[in-house]
Every structure is written in structure tokens, then in C-alpha cells.
Amino acid sequence: MFEVIEKDEIARIGKLYTRHGVIETPALFPVINPSKQYVDLSRIKELGFNQIITNAYIIRKTYGDAAREVGLHEIIGWDGPLMTDSGAYQILQYGNIEVSPDEALRYQVEIGSDIGVILDIPTSYPRPRELVEVEVNETIRRARRAILQLKELDPEHRMLIVGPTQGGVYRDLLAYSARMVSELPFDIYAIGSPTTLLQAYNFTGIIKMILTVKSIIPPGKPVHLFGVGHPLILPLAVALGIDLFDSASYMLYANDDRIILSSRTVRLSELDKDYVLDGCGKRAGELMEMSKEERIRLIAQHNLWTLSRELMEIKQRIKEHDIWSYVAQKARQHPSVYRAYLTLSNSSLFRKLTIKLASGLKVNATQLSILDNSDLARPEVQWARRRLRRLIKGMGVLTNVLIIIGDYEEPFIRTQIANEVTRLGVRVFTYNEVYGLIPIELSDVYPFSQTVRVNVKPRPIKYEIRDSVILVEDKYRDLVKFIKCSGECFIIYVDSLKNIKAYEKYVGLALMKRVNEGSGIK
């Protein structure tokens, strides 16, 4: 049903197979209003969306048995993958709907939905914990019953089925929901109810929900994030392993004359009259002079185009193994996204998730820019740090080693400086603020030679270092205090590492003094 074809750490490109075609993930399902659709479906397909979602509850109220007879695709006028929501959004809006969970599931099967969703109970925000707990348990009960029902309703498994997790900001309840639902054989797992958080720009809350669920559900199954469709949050969500999205944002914003741009949302009235909306080819001044209905249609079209372009860029970054550079770039475009990005630094769930799903290995890896300490949470950095810790701890006490701090060309092992110091016959390390000690033998391995660091707080070295020599460029004197060396240690300050030849004899004498005193070389 689901095949991963490309990965970059936790992010992935995949293929989800349905009766009406293959969906390449990450993918967004534009929400289609079966009663009134402003943007033609043919135009939606031209914009790059091969899949859509509509509401089975509204279809049932509008078409009833007719949809069973002719089929959902005929009713909607769509020949590609078509997903249906069960009516849970209406529960979120109105508190209740006039259909049972059993009827909602049966109807989706009978009208020929490619991907159906059980009728869960969404977690609104804010909401008292005791009520959320009751609703979570009811959603789990419905999920179990749905799996049993489908054996009879859909014995050939023609409809993929989505199992939503609920609990919202109550992460212990969300984790419980994820554990219970993940025990059931759903084709797709979903994270429900982030919409109210999205509307409040509470991206941090959404990220915590993603981490909670992704750390529990089976890694081989696709994950859907309900109701999220804005370019600001899509890259980070994909980088954390989200495969599918759905959203009506393109229409909701258009109805309010709001324009979705890559880095923000603006009102039409705030744009210069000559500002061209690339997604519809019209100037802002032209749109202001149009009828309300025509303006909504063209703004909605532009908003879809923006979302499509964002997904294309995300996929390209995954293919280039550069998704986290893009995430870091996007995070700095809005304070709410940056706050969400910052939470990763102190998230034990994120660390566990990277250990579980990220490899750290890169092909044709590009520059890794560490602009501040928030970037230290990136999976590539975490992976490299873990590997270094295991390697260096395995060396035991670092005795009679040479540690170099300063500016040099990357990779260090290929430089003339390296040639000079390796002739001394001792183990050599470089030091930087991101990784700490790096054996020079690894200096040409990703990500050490590709890392460019700016404004990063140095990392104290926790390894036991004794009777060694630290060679430091003058301008990096402040970094010496982060290296604790016991016994008789020499610190040699140089004006430039490029003049290493002039200092070689002093370094050699200091190291030989350690050898002659019997400390040995490790």
C-alpha cells in the first residue's frame, strides 16, 4: 500500500497506492466543497494536486442514495484518488452530527471512497482534560469496531482506512491514543485536531503532537496531519515524518481576501496594487476591482499554487538530502515557527525519534550551516555527536594527544598543516564549537568538513584528557577553557596555523617530553 522511495533523515518521499492511482507523498489533499467549488477540479489537477478530499457527511446529506448508485467519483467529477472525511470536522464545529459511526463507515465504503476515515471525536482546544479523556477512549472504541466492521463491509480491502489519534495538547492522552490505535491494522495513521492550534499560530503545540505520535506508531505506515495547510509549517512537519495533509486554507483565506505566500499570509488590501500574484497572474489592484466571487476564485487558485510550489520545493530538498537546511531557513521567517524549531533542542522525544529513524548518512551532502544553537538539534548534528561520543569513549583516557583549535581549510586531513602534525606520531584532534573533539581521520567525513558555524555557544569537553598539548590560534584563546586537561599540559598559542612549520619543533618537544616521562602514546 505504501512504499518509501527516497529519504532524508526522518523526511521521506513515498508512493501510496489507491484504486484510482498513486499518490506521491508528501502530498496535500485540497478540501473540496461538494455543494459549491470555486476552483475547477481540472485547474486543481493542473496545479499539481492529483488527490482531493471531500466530506462524506455532506455528500450523504446532499446526495443520499444517489451517491451509492453512481459512485463518489462520478458525483464529484474526479478520476484520481479521492479521500473522504467522515464528518468529524462537523463534530468539532457543532458538537454532534446526525449519523452514527457505523453508518459513516458503511457509507464511505458504499460510495467508493479510495481513502476513508472513521468517525472519531476530535479534540477541541481548549477543553477540560476529563472530557478529552472520555472522547479519546470513545475514539479508540470506534477504531476497534471499525476494523471489525471492515472485514464484512470491505472484504477485498478496496478502501484504505485511516485511524486517527486524539488527545490534542494533553500529550499523555495523545500517546495513549497512539499506542492503542497503532495496535490496529490501519493503512494510514492520522494526527487529529491541530486546526485550532494552527489558527492560533501555536506551531509549537503542533510539533509536540507530531513528535508524540511519530515516536509510537509503526515507522512503515504513512502519517496524515489533519487540517494543516500553510507553507510556514509544512517543511518542519515533513521533516518530522508527516506524509499527508489536507486543508481548506486556500478557500478559507480567499473568502477573507487573504493571500498565502511562502513566508506569510497577507491581506489583499496590504499589497501594492502592482504586486502580481503568481498563482493567478493578476495584480492586486486588478483583483480589488473584481466581483467578490471572481476575486475569491482567483485568490483561491493562487493559494493552491503557493501550496503546490511549497510541496515541490520540499520534495526537491529531500532528493538533495537538504531538508533540514530548508527547515532552518523557513524557521527564521516567522517567530512562531522559530519557537517550534527551538523546542527540538530540548525534546527527548525528538532525540529518540532521530535515533530510531534518522541515519545521518548523506549522499552528495551540501553545506551544513549552524547559525545558532537552535540548529544543533538537527538530526545530522545529533547523529555525528553520538558517533563521536562512542568512538572517543572507546579510546579511554586521552593521553599525550595533540588538540588543534583554529582556522584551517576543510577537510583538515588534506591540508599541509595535517601533514606536518601527523609526522609527530601522536593522535591528533581538532576542536570546534559544534562537535567538540574530532579525530583528524574523520575530518573529511560528513558532516564535519561540511559544517559552517556562526554564533554557536562552545561545547565543554567531558572526556578525560591528560598530559597533552593544545595548539591554539590567538583569536581562539577563549575556547581553551572548554577543554579540561589534567596532569602536565602545554598550551601553545600561535598567530596562525598557517605558520605551523615555525612551531613544529615546540609542539614536538612538548609531546616528546610526555613520552620520555613514560606517559606513552594512546
Asked if residues 64 and 80 have their Cβ atoms less than 8 Å apart, the reply is no
DSSP class of residue 263 equals: S
Half-sphere exposure of 245 (CA within 13 A, CB side): 28
Asked if residues 446 and 365 have their Cβ atoms less than 8 Å apart, the reply is yes
CA dist list (Å): 170 to 117, 125, 177, 210, 452? 22, 10, 11, 13, 38
407 is annotated as an active-site residue: no
**How would you label 359-372 residue by residue, b for 16+ Cβ within 10 Å and e otherwise?**
ebebeeeeebebee
* Calpha distance 473→517 (Å, rounded): 27
Which long-range contacts link 329-336 to residues 24+ away (Cβ below 8 Å)?
A: 330/231, 330/232, 330/235, 330/236, 330/263, 331/236, 331/374, 332/371, 333/232, 333/263, 333/264, 334/201, 334/232, 334/263, 334/264, 336/201, 336/202, 336/203, 336/204, 336/232
β-pairing, 223-225 vs 188-191, is parallel
What does the radius of gyration of the chain's CA atoms come to, in whole angstroms? 28
Which grid cell sits at 372?
Answer: 545558532
Q: Binding-site residues for substrate, please?
A: 120
Distance of CA 178 to the CA centre of its chain: 19
Q: Binding-site residues, please?
A: 120, 280
Would you put residue 237 in left (φ > 0), alpha (ψ -120 to 50) or beta? alpha
Catalytic residue among 8, 85, 243, 375: 85
Residue type present at position 263: S
Q: Please choose, from the candidates 400, 418, 399, the residue with its C-alpha nearest in 3D space to the C-alpha of residue 408.
A: 418
Asked if residues 216 and 171 have their Cβ atoms less than 8 Å apart, the reply is no
* Calpha distance 93→98 (Å, rounded): 13
* Calpha distance 123→133 (Å, rounded): 10
Q: Binding-site residues for Zn(2+), please?
A: 280
Which 3 state secondary structure label does DSSP give 27?
Answer: strand
- How big, in percent rounded to 5, are the helix, strand and coil portions of the chain? 45, 20, 35
Contacts of 335 by beta carbon, 8 Å cutoff, 6+ apart: none
Any idea which residue has 470555486 for its cell?
38
Catalytic residues: 85
